[in-house]
Structure 1
Amino acid sequence: MSGIRLKNHTIGPGHPLFFIAEAGVNHNGDLGMALRLVDIAADAGADAVKFQTFRAESLITRTAPKAPYHTETTGSDEEQSWFDLLKTQELTPAMHEAIIDRCKAREILFLSTPYDNESVDLLDELDVALFKVASTDANNIPFLEYLASKGRPIILSTAMCTLDEVIAST
Structure 2
Amino acid sequence: MTSRYAKATTVPVERSKAEIERTLTRYGATKFAYMTQLDAAMIGFTVHGRQIRFILPLPDKNDMVFWRTPKRLYDRTLVEAEKAWEQACRQRWRSLALAVKSKLETVEAGIATFEQEFLSYTLLPDGQTAGEWLLPQVEEAYRLNLMPEMLPMLSGGQEPKMLREGNHVNQD
TM-score, structure 1 length as denominator? 0.28
Q: Which has the larger radius of gyration?
A: 2
Per the normalisation by structure 2, the TM-score is 0.28
